[in-house]
Every structure is written in structure tokens, then in C-alpha cells.
Structure 1
Amino acid sequence: MAKKIAAGITLLGIVILAWYLISQRIAISWIDTQTTTPTATQTPIPGTKTSSLFEIGKAGKEQIWICPMHPEIMQNHPGTCPICGMDLVQSKNPAAHNHDHGVHIDTASIQKLGVRLESVKKTPLSQEIRTYGNVIVDGDTLYNVHTKVDGWIKKLNINSVGQQIRKGQIIYEIYSPDLIAQQKEYLRFVVRRDQTLKTIGDISPLVENPYVMDLLQELSRERTKFLHKDIGIESVQQMEDSKQAIEVVKILAGQAGVVTQINAREGNFVTPSATLFTLADVSKVWVDITLYPDQAGRVQNGDAVTIKTPDGQEIKTKLDFVNPLAENNKINARVTLNNTHLRLRPGSFVDVTIHAQPHEALVLPRSSVIHTGQGDLVILSRGEGHFLPVNIETGIESGDWIEVVDGLLEGAEVAVNGQFLLDAASSLQDAAQRMQESHKHQ
């Protein structure tokens, strides 16, 4: 029994010695009208004395203002609580507040520790959802090429997917008995026109004859029918000049684009119902974004999106569409991008960041928050070297910032670095003080 008592006394002596050493290194300077003798670790400053809030309360010589809801918030001048915002009230019995919850560090020690402060501020914040997307062609720009007549493809100028096609370019040549018959009918009409015009011209001026005008308009309509079959005006003029039907007719592309699908080859018999080729305009593309169920619940149309291209550039846009249907437990969302410079190639993958649930929030640097098993805390600066550990409730994280849901108000200053040393010193100081008080009551 005597050995246990001796061991306890020895342990208590070690703790008291540690507390003495800490109190010599860590203190706060409070303005006073009297000049005190400087300690060995502090530069003498005229008109100041070095003491902690515990010593102030114990001496009863200084007035203390405290928070009614958070008694650990104490200072020697009026103000508001940085936790709840209530006005601090002046204590009628300063000596009663003899428990110091924080840690006090002189200016020299703060500089040695490299403590840097950051204020709680209000700023727009959103939850960042990181995923990937697949660049695909814009479905609204797809153009299917059909033949206008039955026939056989004699020559094909489209050879591979990805080939760039210009508007008016010859894409294939076709032999069509129906088209030859239409040409012969048109040539017979041209011959009758010429004969009629010659006969009427010998009788009266052509410009004054309504029959001539109707004849010319009908001829124009017949010529337009060939143009609607994607036959070029050069082929029509060749047929009119030679007065012979063209057996193998050249067909032109009605729209420019990149070939995405080929369904016909040379020698194939084709009909108007069959799609020969599919073209797409890649100057505008879609990015098909993959979302998982837990992500899709936080995303909605109009959310800001950042897309990182393969060459490292970032594109800012907004979400166009979120598919209400899932496929293989995945939900697809989509954005539309201008791809005039062809930086995005359909079929490639890109990194996507969706900025979901944007709102105004109080934020702190992520490095200022200490995550513990009992929750999150920060080291609150009370000014003049006084630091206090405060529990807070955090929300979403975005980049280098973290949301403060509860525990701090806007404008409160916290330690961004060195907070682990401050927290350890505060815990040791608080434990030593409680042991010292317990020893006095025995």
C-alpha cells in the first residue's frame, strides 16, 4: 500500500513539473496599467503583464466577459461569442471562472510554431461529383443517306468510317433503269418545248405569250425533280446538251459530315427504304456522363459541369439531361459541347466534375479541421495568443474547402496549421490543471 501511495505521489510530481514547464512557455499577454517584470522567455513590453485567464480569474483583478451558452469563451473585453453569436456578459465574480479551457502562447512561440490563421467566410459552395464521360456524336446532327431510286451501285466513293464528306461531293454512282426512263421522258419534253417555242416565236413575241411562260415553268419543275434526287446540275446540263440519257448517274452528298456508318458496297442493289450511309456533324458533340445511383440523386439539370479534355484544358458547361432510366445500375447524364476546333474526338473518354447542390455556406480550409473519433474540431483563436479547441459540425467538401454546418460563425479565426500541437498542448494543460485542482481538494 505504501508503494502505491509513493508511486502516486511521484506521478503527481511529474505532472505538476510538466505543468510548470508548460506554463512558463505558454502564456498570454494582457494589457494592464502596471508594468511587470518580464520572464526569461518573453521580451519585456512596457505596460503589459503576462498571465493566463486562469490566473486572471484567480487574482480577481481583471474583469472577464463570458458567453452564457459557452462558458469556455472568456475575454477581458466586451464582444460576441464566435460559436453562437450571443453578446458576452460581464462576470460578477471573475474569481469563479478559474478553469482555463484553452492554451495561451506568446508571440515568439506563435512565430516558431508557424501558426497561420484563417477566417470563417461565406461563399458559394457545391458538392463535387467526380466521374467520367464518353464523347459521342450529337444525335441531332445525324444524317442518313438514302437513294431516291432503285438501282445498282456501280462506284462507291465512301470507303471507311470517319471519312470527311463535303456537301456536293460525289459519294456514289448508280445505274437505275427507272432513272434512265425518267431522263428519256424529260428529254422528250425538252424536244417538245423547243418545237413549241420555235412555232410560237414565229407568230408573236415569246415574252407576251402566257402559254410560253407556263411551258417554261413546267420545264423548271421537271428539272428540279432531278435535283431532288441528289443529281447535280452539271449532270442535268450534260443530259440536255447531249440529248442522251446518262446510264450511270453521279449522286452528290446533300450535307457535309463525318461517316459514322456504311451499309452499302459496290454492286449492291439498293432501294429508297434502305439507309446507305450515316453522316454526323462533329463540330458539336455530346458527352455521355456515367453516374451511379448514389450520385444521380444529387444531380439535376442545369448543374455546372467542368470537363477536362485529353490535352489538359478545362471546359465549363451545364448539364443538359439526366436519364430517368437506369441501365446496369448506372444512370447516364449528358452535356452538349461546341467542338469547332475538333479537340474532342467521338469515342474518347474525358474526366468530368459535376458541381451539385450549389448553395451559400460558411467554409473553412480543409487543413484547419481535426478529425477525431468523437467528431471534428478546430482550434479557435481568441486573439492575443489565446487558442481554444471547439467542436464543429462539418458538411460537404469542395476542393480545399469544407462546409461549417454548426459550431462557428462568420468571421471567427481558426488555426490552419500547427493546430495539432495547439490541441495537444491544450489537452495537456487542461489535464494538468484538473489534477492540480483535485490534489488541492484532497
Structure 2
Amino acid sequence: MNRLAWILVVVVAAAGLAGGYWAGTRKAEQASAPQAAAGATSTAGGKILYYRNPMGLPDTSPVPKKDPMGMDYVPVYQGEAPAPQAPGTVKISPDKMQLLGVRTELAQVRDLRRVVQAVGTIQPNERQLFKVAPRFEGWIEKLYVNTTGQAIGRGQPLMEVYSPELVTAQEEYLIALRGMKEAAAGGADAQAVMQRLADSALRRLRNWEISDEELRTLQRDGKPRQHLAFRSPVNGVVLQKPSVQGMRFMPGDVLFEVADLSSVWMLAEVFEQDLRYARVGQEVDVRVASYPDMALKGKVVFVYPTIDPATRTARVRVELANKGGLLKPAMYGSVEFVAAHPRGKVLAVPDSAVLDSGKRQAVLVRRGEAVFEPRTVKLGMRAEGYSEVTEGLKAGDEVVVRANFLIDAESNLKSALESFGSQPKAAAAHRASGTIQAVDAQGGTVEIEHGPIPTLQWPAMTMEFAAKDKALLAGLKPGQAVEFELTQGKPGEYVIERITASSSAHKGH
């Protein structure tokens, strides 16, 4: 009997072990079935192309990562439908990009040098202009220089004049000199009187610009000269010669105008928007039409303080050396100003990247694989094929520099077709359920511990949402189970459109 009982115990134990093994095997098969199915789905999806933001923001990542809330980025597999396009962006297929010839460059910090060109004319250096104008009345007895434009040397005679006033002044001076000699034997008072007379006559002659050489000749010869020679004050050319032999002249009449052309001025007309690039002391390049292959160097010596209201230009004075006298007054020429940016290196993009409508300037920024975002920018200095960007971009942003007009046109066309003959589509609603953790009816926000939201591919978590209308939160309390609907406003921002109390309690995660 004992032997039989022992056998029964062994049989029952074996049966129990076999049953447990069979049940465990079935559960393992059932548990692994969904995993296998999930793995098959992932495998069927193909190669992972990239990972997208779980909140719908228009940024992607080539590697797995988490967003600031700790949510995993969602993998996008080859062959899957693309994620919804972010508002304000345009997506171009790779084939179309290749057909359009799209090319991009990075916005970089660089040196900008602005080259400003202006036209002008050669003019005499006003500091080296001289006019011959006698200070007494007389007649021109003889002209030594008879033509305008004649080259003359310093000290060369220009003309001889006769003046009764000049002859009388010379005689008075000679009488005073003789009186001083005769008064030498007399008293000191007589000498002093004659000295004052001689000094007065000498000052009169000097005031009439009688040279020291002429005065020494007068003192040596002891007799007045009937004719006085006027000589050139500089080496130069005769610009004006209104004098004619035999003519009468009055004090102050200009008989000759002489210019020293060893240095000349270029008076350049610079447009007011370019005036800031012309600075006193700046070296410039000058070319004249008469000698197009000859490069000249000049220096800005003055910027005129007024603007011509007709041409909207200001004059800039450039001083040039005139070796060989090649530069003639009234010659046409051009000036090239090269100015660096006052702040040194600045953020800039190629000019071809800028879409200028006249009212605003924009660039197309690459946001991902074949996704572009039009972005308004503020521009500064333009130079050497680049435009300074003061607002709207940062260094490293990738901008379209070729075919951007075609992309912009396609973006505008898509926008027009989407809105043509139809009303704007309502934002998609996402349904979920959860438990209220906190309510701020005054601020219009509610914190909800919700379950997974499949349409957004969100896992279960606790989040704070804003209500579209504060009245939706009336009567809600913490701990209350609710059902609600979300819609997307801005990228990554979801608001509650509807929320109601739920009859069943939400199971937390």
C-alpha cells in the first residue's frame, strides 16, 4: 500500500511539472507574438532615414535623441509617409532639386570691402592759383606773355607798365633819401623828419608790391624808372590773360591768372548713399579718359559739406601729383574708393541668396532634407558680391544661393493653389483621456496625466496644456478623470479644444 501511494505521488508531480511547462511555453509564445509582429513592422518599414521631433517641430536628427521634455524622437523609415510639413516651409523633391540646380552656402563671418566709383573733373589746385593785379593805375606798355596756356617760369617777366603814380612815388622816395644825406650834417630833428619821409615813401612802394630788387635798382641808380616789369610768381601756365598791350588798367584789375599745375585736384561727384565711404586722408585710385591705362594714386583732402539738390551728389576733393603735366584742367576722370566695414568682420551671405521684393528682403534657409524656410532678414553693407546680414540669420545657417527664385516661386504657387476656391482647413483634433493633476482656471491652463496618444505618437506622461477658452476649465478639479481633444496651433504647441468629465477612472502609467 505504501508502495502504491508513493507511485501515485510521483505520477501527480510529473503531471504538474508537465502542465507548468506547457503553460509557460504558451505564455511565452503569446508574449513573443506581439514583439515579433512589432519587429516585423519595423523591419518591413525598411531603413531608418532620420528621427523627427515628437512634438511636431520642424527639426530632425540623424541619430536617436530626446527632446527637452525627455520624449524620444520618432524614427522615420524608408517608404513611410513623410511627417506633416511645418508651416511656412516648402519641400522640394530630390529630383526637382537636381533639375533646378539648387546650391547652398553657409552664412559666414567675413571681411567686407566696399568699392565705390565716382566720376569727376580735373581742376587746378586752388592753393596754387595766382592772380597778377596791380594796386595802382597805369597802362600796359609791353607784353612778354601774349597767349593763354603759355608755360612760364618763376620770375619770368609778364609785362611792363607805365604809371604816373608810380613814377611820382619813386621820386618822393629819392627826394627823401637825398634829404637824409643832406640832413646828416644838421641836427637830429632834421634827420628824423627826413627818415620818416623816406620810410613813408618806401612803404607806399612796398604796398604796391614793388620788389626788393626793383627798390635796390632805384636806390643805386638814383632816378625813377618810367616802366615797371611784373613777373610770374610761380612755375606754371597762364590760365587767363585779359591784358592787351596799350590798355589802361585800374587798381585791382586782374591782368594775368597763373596756375602751378605740379599738383591738381580731382573733384569727384559721390552719391549721398555712398558718401560715408569717403574719408579725409583715404588713398584712392584715379583714372582719366585721356590715359585709360595709367593708374594714378590720390588722397582725399576734403569732403564738401553740401549736397547738390539736382544730382543728389556731394563733391569730394582728391589731390593728385601731376608729373609731366599730363593732367589738364577740365579733364574727365573716375575715382575708386575702397572702404572696409567699420566693424571689421561681419555676418554676410552671397548677394544671390537675397530675395528682394522691394518692401522686404528674405533668404531661403535649409531646415532639413529638401525642406526650406523663407526667412526675412535685415541687410547692411553690400560689397564684393556679399550682403551684410544684421538680423534674421546666424553664422552657420545654410542658405540657398542658386535657384532660390524658382523655389520661392514654387512656394508662392503652392500657397495660392491651396487657398484657391477653398476655405482654410481646420486643424486635426487628437483625442485622449487622463486625470487632472492641477487646474489654473484664471490662467487658462490645466495639468493632465494622460495615457498614450497614438495620433501624435506620444507616450503616457504628465503635461500642462492651455485651454482655447478659459470657460472649458470651469468645474474641473484635481483627481478628476477627463476626456479631451487637442489641436496644434504653432509648431510644437497644442491647445485643448474640448474637455469633459469621464465616467471611468484613468489608469496612470
**What interval of TM-score do these two structures reach, taking the shorter chain for normalisation?**
0.5 to 0.7
CA contact (8 A) 1:63 1:90 kept: no
The DSSP-based 3-state class of the residue aligned with 1:226 is helix
In the TM superposition, what whole-angstrom CA distance separates every residue of 1:390-410 from its partner, at most 9, and x where no partner exists?
535474632322233554212
Partner of 1:222: 201
Which amino acid letter does the alignment assign opposite residue 349 of structure 2? L
Rounded to whole Å, the distance in 2 between the matches of 1:195 and 1:219 is 13
CA contact (8 A) 1:230 1:254 kept: no
Bigger Cα Rg: 2
Cα shift at 1:347: 0.8
The DSSP-based 3-state class of the residue aligned with 1:313 is strand
Which amino acid letter does the alignment assign opposite residue 363 of structure 1? A
Alpha carbons of 1:415 and 1:250: their partners in 2 closer, same or farther (altered >3 Å)? same
- Alignment TM-score, normalising by the size of structure 1: 0.58
CA contact (8 A) 2:112 2:340 kept: no
Alpha carbons of 1:397 and 1:316: their partners in 2 closer, same or farther (altered >3 Å)? farther
Mapping of 1:239-250 within 5 angstroms? Answer: 239-250=218-229
Partner of 2:306: 323
How many residues were matched structurally? 338
The DSSP-based 3-state class of the residue aligned with 1:278 is strand
Alpha carbons of 1:115 and 1:265: their partners in 2 closer, same or farther (altered >3 Å)? same
Rounded to whole Å, the distance in 2 between the matches of 1:61 and 1:334 is 62
The structure showing larger relative contact order (alpha-carbon pairs under 8 Å, at least 6 residues apart) is: 1
Cα shift at 1:173: 0.7
Rounded to whole Å, the distance in 1 between the matches of 2:355 and 2:320 is 45
Partner of 2:328: 345
Cα shift at 1:254: 4.6
Cα shift at 1:270: 0.8
Q: Does 2:268 correspond to 1:289?
A: yes
Alpha carbons of 1:359 and 1:251: their partners in 2 closer, same or farther (altered >3 Å)? closer
- Alignment TM-score, normalising by the size of structure 2: 0.52
Cα shift at 1:317: 3.0
In the TM superposition, what whole-angstrom CA distance separates every residue of 1:12-39 from its partner, at most 9, and x where no partner exists?
xxxxxxxxxxxxxxxxxxxxxxxxxxxx
Rounded to whole Å, the distance in 2 between the matches of 1:262 and 1:91 is 94
Alpha carbons of 1:176 and 1:77: their partners in 2 closer, same or farther (altered >3 Å)? farther
The DSSP-based 3-state class of the residue aligned with 1:404 is strand
Q: Does 2:382 correspond to 1:404?
A: no
CA contact (8 A) 1:184 1:244 kept: yes
User: Which of 148, 154, 171 lines up with 1:161 in the alignment?
Assistant: 148
Cα shift at 1:154: 1.6
Rounded to whole Å, the distance in 2 between the matches of 1:182 and 1:59 is 114
CA contact (8 A) 1:235 1:250 kept: no
Q: Is the deviation greater in 308-317 or in 356-365?
A: 356-365
CA contact (8 A) 1:381 1:415 kept: no
User: Which of 215, 230, 236 lines up with 1:251 in the alignment?
Assistant: 230
CA contact (8 A) 1:232 1:251 kept: no
CA-based RMSD of the aligned residues comes to 5.0
Alpha carbons of 1:165 and 1:140: their partners in 2 closer, same or farther (altered >3 Å)? same
CA contact (8 A) 2:161 2:229 kept: yes
User: Which of 74, 95, 103 lines up with 1:94 in the alignment?
Assistant: 74
Which amino acid letter does the alignment assign opposite residue 260 of structure 1? L
User: Which of 283, 305, 314 lines up with 1:333 in the alignment?
Assistant: 314
Segments of structure 2 that go 5 or more residues without pairing to the other structure are 1-42, 77-81, 86-90, 289-293, 415-509
Mapping of 1:43-442 within 5 angstroms? Answer: 63-64=51-52, 71-76=57-62, 92-95=72-75, 98=83, 101=91, 117-121=105-109, 123=111, 130-139=117-126, 141-197=128-184, 199=185, 212=191, 215=194, 219-220=198-199, 222-254=201-233, 258-282=237-261, 285-290=264-269, 295-296=271-272, 298=273, 300=275, 303-304=278-279, 306-310=284-288, 311-313=294-296, 315=298, 317=300, 320-326=303-309, 329-342=310-323, 344-353=327-336, 362-367=347-352, 377=363, 380=366, 389-392=372-375, 393=377, 395=379, 397-404=382-389, 406-414=391-399, 419-420=402-403
Segments of structure 1 that go 5 or more residues without pairing to the other structure are 1-54, 80-86, 204-208, 432-442
Rounded to whole Å, the distance in 1 between the matches of 2:278 and 2:69 is 46
Rounded to whole Å, the distance in 2 between the matches of 1:60 and 1:371 is 39
% of aligned pairs identical?
19
Alpha carbons of 1:371 and 1:184: their partners in 2 closer, same or farther (altered >3 Å)? closer
In the TM superposition, what whole-angstrom CA distance separates every residue of 1:316-365 from its partner, at most 9, and x where no partner exists?
53761143453xx3245222233334575321122245689966553123
Cα shift at 1:62: 5.8
Q: Is the deviation greater in 187-196 or in 368-377?
A: 368-377
The DSSP-based 3-state class of the residue aligned with 2:321 is coil
